[in-house]
Chains A and B, each alone.
Chain A
Amino acid sequence: EPEVTQTPSHQVTQMGQEVILRCVPISNHLYFYWYRQILGQKVEFLVSFYNNEISEKSEIFDDQFSVERPDGSNFTLKIRSTKLEDSAMYFCASTAAYEQYFGPGTRLTVT
């Protein structure tokens, strides 16, 4: 069964550094998403992406964040200057309809 994959599974970075989280969505899906989950809290929507542009974003997705689909398969989330409060699990998801398929997540730890 096709699945969404994410790399790395765990990323440790120092405050102020840039990180790029990578996702490979399911190949025939058209909508892509990033979510985050701070430890023990609810899953929060960050951004959705369709037709090579952002279609919706939350207030969490400020100027420090950007997304890109650099080729036909990868979908990336970049955090330009990480803060301690960016420490969270980041999930990528893709969909062809209303059902979203989630990747296993990248745990980002900012020290």
Chain B
Amino acid sequence: DTAVSQTPKYLVTQMGNDKSIKCEQNLGHDTMYWYKQDSKKFLKIMFSYNNKELIINETVPNRFSPKSPDKAHLNLHINSLELGDSAVYFCASSPGAGQPQHFGDGTRLSIL
């Protein structure tokens, strides 16, 4: 039983395209997150949502638009993809604020 699941696992696309990544958690958690991991493996928070409400937007370009239809889902839509967007994107969830986060297996985005 996958706790935090992301789709797709791999995404290869051309510069300028628009793409979406989906995330679902079956842990009953209230809080969900998106992270970007760069080529040096550094993990940086992008967005935090609590009960479908945006709590943190860590100065992410507005080409990135998260959407939370319910507290079990947090999807990430990216417009006008750029070369610098190539990275691994991780979704995570936690029971609430200040709690340990549980991560999905990542979506590897490659921009050609």
Partners in one complex: no
